Amino acid sequence: MSIEKPIEQLDARGLYCPEPVMMLHGKIAQLQVGDLFEVIATDPSTERDIPKFCNFLGHELVSHEVKDDLFIYRIRKGG
């Protein structure tokens, strides 16, 4: 089984609310519906903000993991 690679990645390490979500909003607007996108952040508030962002705007939060103080999100752009 192969793991799908994200088409783009947003490195939001060292940024704090609301910057990661603002940057995510700008980047995801450039993608096509169905594209997989990855966000790497260090701000714990992204655990609240990014799922809400996805839910509100109709994007799919494919996965979320915490690894070595990094918050890693995979998001599929919705229509």
Cα–Cα dist 33/79, whole Å? 5
The residues annotated as belonging to the active site are 17
Residues whose CB is less than 8 angstroms from the CB of residue 67 and which lie 6 or more positions away in sequence, other chains included: none
Q: 26-49 b/e with 16+ CB inside 10 Å = b?
A: ebbeebeeeebbbbbbebeebeeb
